[in-house]
Amino acid sequence: MSRNRILIVDDEPAIREMVAVALELADFDVLEAENAQRGHEIIVDERPDLVLLDWMLPSVTGIELARRLKRDETTNEIPIIMLTAKSEEDNKVQGLDVGADDYITKPFSTRELISRIKAVLRRASSAAAEKAIEVEGLCLDPVSHRISANDEPVDMGPTEYRLLEFFMSHQERAYSRTQLLDQVWGANVYVEDRTIDVHIRRLRKALAPFGFDRFIQTVRGTGYRFSVKAAKAS
């Protein structure tokens, strides 16, 4: 698991700095934005794992940004922790209503901040792990442990299932055979690199009747990739 990326949106450089240092010590990667607009850009471009959002921001408030994020399909699953300057009841309630996953009142201890962040991330990731992934009719449901294509069940072996699961949760990215081996088979497993080819083939074969084998693309000289886009110009 790569380190979690956290975006802190706050107009006070001092606060950003303080939080950033604390987060880095706690083994997070930190992104920073000093206002809501910039924050929104970064969220869209970088898709951080969590956003720390100051309540009071110049022009567009944090609450407004939160509302927008939660309204947008592409960002509404990114957890938000609101930072409120004062301990005002109203703020907290409103913040939660807006869809924030938690809030924390300044001043706060970095210890508390970290533990809140971890709690929210834990919740988010377990929720995400149970969520079905669906791409153009190809659907993987981790709960029932089943693949379906246009609601037709698709039959495949356990390894192909895990392979597809990995691919679908890491789309648009090329992986070497070794990487796939580590991720899907697990580290410290001695398996021939070329074995991947065979499993790729089996996965394609299972998806082929529905035409979904086009998602499993060969990246010559490197490995494989799951991509919704066409592999090449036709």
Partner DNA sequence: CTCAACTTGTCATACGCATGTCATAAAAGA
Partner DNA sequence: TCTTTTATGACATGCGTATGACAAGTTGAG
State yes or no: residue 220 binds its own copies (CB under 8 A): yes
**Applying CB under 7 A, what is the total number of residues that bind DNA?**
24
Q: What string of DSSP letters covers 13-57?
A: HHHHHHHHHHHHHTT-EEEEESSHHHHHHHHHHH--SEEEEES--
**Residue closer to its own copies, measured from CB, 24 or 109:** 109
- Distance between CA 85 and CA 87 in Å, rounded? 7
**Among 143, 187, 188, 190, which residue interacts with its own copies (rule: CB under 8 A)?**
143
Number of residues that bind its own copies (CB under 8 A): 44
Please give the Cα distance from 102 to 17 (Å, whole number): 21
Residue 106 engages DNA in binding (rule: CB under 7 A) = no
Q: How far is the CB of 123 from its own copies (least distance, A)?
A: 6
Nearest to 165 by CA among 131, 120, 123: 131
Q: What is the DSSP letter of 3?
A: P
Return phi, psi of residue 6, to 5°. -120, 130
99 binds, among DNA, its own copies, none (CB under 5 to 8 A by kind): none
CB of 183 to its own copies, least distance (A): 15
Of the candidates 121, 93, 6, 92, the one whose C-alpha atom is nearest the C-alpha of residue 52 is: 6
Nearest to DNA of 44, 191 (CB atom): 191
Give the range of 3-11, 47-55, 57-65, 184-192 binding its own copies by CB under 8 A: 57-65
* Count of alpha carbons within 13 angstroms of residue 74, beta-carbon side: 8
Please pick, from the candidates 75, 106, 174, 183, the single residue that binds its own copies as defined by CB under 8 A: 174
Spatial distance between the Cα atoms of 88 and 60, rounded to a whole number of angstroms: 20
**Which position among 123, 198, 228, 229 is part of the footprint of DNA (CB under 7 A)?**
198
- Beta strands at 50-54 and 29-33: parallel, antiparallel or unpaired: unpaired
Interatomic CA distance for residues 138 and 216, integer angstroms = 12
Using the rule CB under 8 A, is 150 a contact of its own copies?
A: no
Q: Which residue from 59, 73, 90, 107 is in contact with its own copies, where contact means CB under 8 A?
A: 59
The C-alpha atoms of residue 214 and residue 217 are separated, in whole angstroms, by 7
Q: Kindly identify the residues of this chain, within the stretch 132-191, that bind DNA according to CB under 7 A.
A: 155, 157-160, 185, 190-191
Provide the binding-site residues for its own copies, judged by CB under 8 A.
Answer: 37, 41, 44-45, 59-60, 64, 68, 87, 89, 92-93, 96, 102, 105, 116, 119, 122-123, 143-146, 152-155, 157-158, 172-174, 209, 219-222, 225, 227, 229-233
* Residue ranges that bind DNA, judged by CB under 7 A: 155, 157-160, 185, 190-192, 194-195, 197-202, 204, 218-223
